[in-house]
Amino acid sequence: MASFFPELSPSVRVYTTGGFASTARFGADGSYTGFRRGSRQVGQTLQLRFSHLSQANMNVIKAHYLERKGTFDFFFASASLWGDYSDAPPVPLLGNTAWRFASPPEVTDVSFDRFDVSVELVSHAILQGDFSNDASASTDAAAAAADYIYDAGDSTTVARDYLLNPGAS
């Protein structure tokens, strides 16, 4: 099942809006034609800095990174991640955006049992419902119908964590 980023509030948050997938074509006469390649926002980044975290909270972030298999697996932003945007965050918590780590968390030891942690996240556009629980045992038919399968284990004998289907773009 898709997870959420740990319920920790960052000291500093830098959000970059990204854009929409598009392609530009220029004619020989200098004319311009643009083609939008989808309706989902791409390329959003979120840089977070957590100051003076306890060792336990620093380990929570490290554990989340390892659970998400480093920069591979997706997750949703938690409400505390947006802090003062809790009523209307720039990116809806359960909207059409999932996140993944852009790089490993950077940990700085600032004093006894206190750490600064810097994290950079990048967005991945999804449709609501792309992450669907598959709590029942996997079958060959379900595997054949899925466009993307993450954590499939050894084919049909292990229940999947979730399926990710591309949906309409």
Q: Provide the percentage of residues in the chain whose pLDDT is more than 90.
A: 24
Same-domain check for residues 64 and 10:
yes
- What is the structure's pLDDT at 76? 84
Same-domain check for residues 85 and 151:
no
Same-domain check for residues 35 and 55:
yes
Same-domain check for residues 28 and 65:
yes
For the four alpha carbons of 82, 87, 90 and 94, in that order, the dihedral sign comes to positive
Same-domain check for residues 121 and 166:
no
Owning domain of residue 24: 3-126
Same-domain check for residues 20 and 65:
yes
Average pLDDT score over residue span 48-67: 93
Same-domain check for residues 82 and 107:
yes
For the stretch 61-82, pLDDT in tens is 999 999 988 888 888 888 788 8
For the stretch 84-127, pLDDT in tens is 776 777 776 666 788 899 999 999 999 888 999 999 999 887 76
* Total number of domains in the chain: 2
Same-domain check for residues 44 and 83:
yes
Q: Provide the percentage of residues in the chain whose pLDDT is more than 70.
A: 70
How far apart CA 169 and CA 167 sit, in angstroms, is 6
